[in-house]
Structure 1
């Protein structure tokens, strides 16, 4: 089995960005996705241009911060202050404008491309883009880009409309209570029996100690340091080699 460990949230804080660089150096992690509307987005772009983060996808963001487009152009996607609707509001919505969503997806994509980032793939923050109000627009958008995408059946079944590559499987179990070396190994072994010749994508979130900015932006804080420690550990790297599991990025799909 091949394994893609993707670190979400590049661009959230500088320490998040620095943790991604450190993980790439170890080699288990060979994939990350950037948010284009966050406090440390420009810092992340600088690291990418230095060649320190070689494989970068787009982390489409619909539930954090403000849109790239003027809020007046995407009124269905924002609150009265021009900030994106929170995740619970998105989930509770029966429909949100297809055209507005597609336009904002493209604005975030274009901003990344114009910054000189050669995107390897696309996924979404909080899975927002694959909840029913956004899923059709997201699938249409990623199909039009022609680049790989994270599976879109994690929340609601169905990947059949995708015309771009994706992995055979995806897991979000390396999160919160699942952040231990033993539990991570169990998840990987389980999938390796199901798809011995396939590719599993594993979602992750990392930062470094002392990230004082992060608590103002995310409720998921301390476990990010635990994830970082596991993903940079010799124990995990040696174990993966023993199991014959190859770590790759989306650029290999």
Structure 2
């Protein structure tokens, strides 16, 4: 059994970034994905390279902060910000704007010299519409990287999986996602026990570790739960349990 523990929102704030780095360097976090449209992104990229973290994913977004591109009209509000929830984005969707913005986020990430190792999506927006999912698949194919198994969280999982498979897009076998809840040691152990005898499978645990700072309080409703999660990923007992059960901790670079 192989396990990816991916810390979302790298670069969101200094506190979140430092928390993820600590979890990678001292704990069981194995990967991360960056918000390329955040104000702190370039500083976070420099810090990552200083810490020897040279590859990660892009946490694509059309529902958080401002876009990378200027002049967007249909997927932003009157103040130029993305709508905060997928259901608020006006329909019909402007697929051209969405694709151009997502590609720009990837290109901004690559401009830092970091290596791209996967794509995932904020608020799992990729599954809200089949054409949007196809855009994410198209970009994954273009940049030759895996995607997160977001489609396992929707009703038409098999259909979307077929689209990814037809385009030779790699992903994990299972995605573990605690929506609105803190990941606990018990949750991790329960799932390892559930899947450890399933053979050569790869699982991703979607994580939200980090330290709380004033900037985070101003932009996100997910605050102190990040610190609670980080404590789990740094806990010596969970490290020992993983070692004893022969769980192979990997990043998306190993997928």
TM-score normalised per structure 1? 0.91
Residue from 171, 185, 200 that aligns with 2:189: 185
Counterpart of 2:121 (choices 109, 120, 124) is 124
Q: 2 CA distance for matches of 1:4 and 1:93?
A: 34
Which consecutive aligned stretches of 4+ in structure 1 deviate over 4 angstroms post-superposition?
none
2:6 pairs with 1:6: yes
For the aligned residue pairs, the C-alpha RMSD in angstroms reads 1.8
Aligned counterparts of 2:127 and 2:140: Cα–Cα separation in 1: 12
CA deviations over 1:138-172 (Å, ceiling 9, x no partner)? 22222222111111313432221122211111111
**Map of 1:75 onto structure 2:** 73
Aligned residues: 247
Q: Which residue of 1 aligns with 2:209?
A: 206
Q: Distance in 2 between matches of 1:183 and 1:201?
A: 13
The answer to whether 1:172 aligns with 2:169 is no
Where does residue 239 of structure 1 map in the other structure? 241
More deviation, 199-208/140-149: 140-149
Q: Which moved more, 1:124-133 or 1:58-67?
A: 124-133
Per-residue CA shift, 1:210-251, capped at 9, x if unaligned? 522211111111111011000011111000011111100000
Q: 1:82 to 1:93 in 2, by over 3 A?
A: closer
Greater shift in the superposed pair: 184-193 or 9-18: 184-193
TM-score (ref. length: structure 2) = 0.90
Where does 1:50-199 land on structure 2 (aligned, <5 Å)? 50-70=50-70, 72=71, 74-90=72-88, 95-132=92-129, 134-156=132-154, 157=157, 158-162=160-164, 163-173=168-178, 176-193=180-197, 195-199=198-202
Q: Is the alpha carbon distance of 1:48 and 1:178 closer, same or farther for their aligned partners in structure 2, counting shifts above 3 Å?
A: closer
Q: Are the structure 2 counterparts of residues 189 and 93 from structure 1 closer, same or farther at C-alpha, using a change threshold of 3 Å?
A: farther
Residues 1:95 and 1:198: Cα distance change in structure 2 (over 3 Å) = farther
Secondary structure of residue in 1 paired with 2:74? helix
Cα deviation for residue 65 of structure 1 reads 0.9
Give the gaps of 5 or more residues in structure 2. Answer: none
Residue in 2 that maps onto 1:227: 229
Shift of 1:94: 5.1
In structure 2, what is the equivalent of residue 38 of structure 1?
38
Q: Distance in 2 between matches of 1:88 and 1:148?
A: 23
Could you say if the C-alpha distance between residues 188 and 211 of structure 1 is closer, same or farther in structure 2, counting changes exceeding 3 Å? Answer: farther
